[in-house]
Amino acid sequence: MALQNITQFFASSFIAENALTKTLGEEFVLCENRNVVFHWADFFETCDLIKNQMQNDPVLSEDFKNREAALARLALIPVWIRTENKVHQTTMHDLYEKYILNQTQLLIGVDPFCPIELSFISGTGPFKGMSVAECFNKTTYKDFVLINLLKGKLPKRDFRIRLKSKVLMEYGSDFNQAHLVALEQITTNGLLFSVDSDTFMKKISQSPQVRVLLNTEMLDGGQGKELPELKNHLSQFAFNLMYSSRKEDAIPCNFGDFSVQSSFDFSKEKKVYLFISYEKLAAVHPGSVKNIKNFVAHTRELVRNHYQKNSGNLKTA
């Protein structure tokens, strides 16, 4: 059950056509191929709105209950972890919850990314060498986050947009090497990139300085456009939003300016996430940062207007 799609427990035939959000998993699409999206969980205002709306919307309420019930059933899946001195018994539900709620210190001292001996059969095995993170399913993980946000167990987020895009990061002596890194999010406060752990550790992290090449003119061209026009505009750059190979678009960054955190993706590869604030970027490339921040502010207003139109309850302050 741990690897099943949690949303299959919700019958789509009960979705109302005029609902603000038809299901808790629905995204606000900013580009036709879904490479630029917003989700209500990525903004504290829309998170509060959905939480309030569930009280009056039987569709959302039922969706929440079905997802919550499906997650609860993960407590029926036992997991045995064999350490040097003992075999510990837990459940898939506990592993998800402790990791997502950042209670990794309660995982009996186990690094969730390092291979350990796990069994789903019994306390005597057979055991398989794998990391706790490899046990996680993408849809189930997302539902844990959504449910715990609505329950107030996770901190709410400031506005952010999620992307599927690659940009160049240069490193090495005289920036003579380059690697494509994923641009994951454009947030209110900065940019979030990701790169596979091996590339980061063996190459990028060895450089005291890196350069990120960003074409922010693509974003500036979307200013003032309503949603249909913005979708058309962004569709021109659907697979390479903000990608550039022009040296004039290179933004030098001290490696120490990045906040670095290890995580994983759901193809079971360890990744490193790199966040850098606009304050650090603006010091060397203020025009690019202005374009990004203006784009964030504009799309935030589009999101607000969308939810206002459908509910009339979202704050505008």
pLDDT at 242: 93
293 contact partners, CB below 8 Å, separation of at least 6: 278
Name residue, tokens 């890194």.
Answer: 181
Which residues of the chain are modeled with pLDDT < 50? 1-20, 312-317
- Non-local (6+) Cβ contacts of 241 within 8 A are 31, 35, 36, 163, 165, 183, 218, 234
Question: What Cα–Cα distance (Å) separates residue 68 from each residue in 102, 176, 196, 301?
Answer: 19, 50, 32, 31
CA angle (159 as vertex; 309, 55 as ends), nearest 5? 50
- Provide the pLDDT for residue 108: 67
Half-sphere exposure for 224 (CA within 13 Å, toward CB): 2
Is 60:22 a contact under the CB 8 Å cutoff? Answer: no
Tell me, what's the pLDDT at 311? 64
Model-level pTM? 0.84
pLDDT at 94: 92
Q: Which of 65, 64, 95 is nearest to 77 (CA)?
A: 95
Q: 63 phi and psi, to 5 degrees?
A: -60, -45
**CATH 2.40.10, the chain: domain bounds:** 160-311
Q: What is the DSSP letter of 242?
A: T
Handedness of CA 231, 236, 237, 242 (dihedral sign): negative
So what's the pLDDT on residue 266? 59
d(C-alpha 225, C-alpha 185), whole Å: 21
Total count of residues recorded for the chain: 317
Contact 108, 177 (CB under 8 A): no
160-311: which CATH topology? Thrombin, subunit H (2.40.10)
* pLDDT of amino acid 90: 92
Q: Are 36 and 235 in contact (CB under 8 A)?
A: no
Longest dimension (CA), the chain: 63
The residue type found at 31 is C
What are the φ/ψ torsions at residue 309 (nearest 5 degrees)?
-60, -35
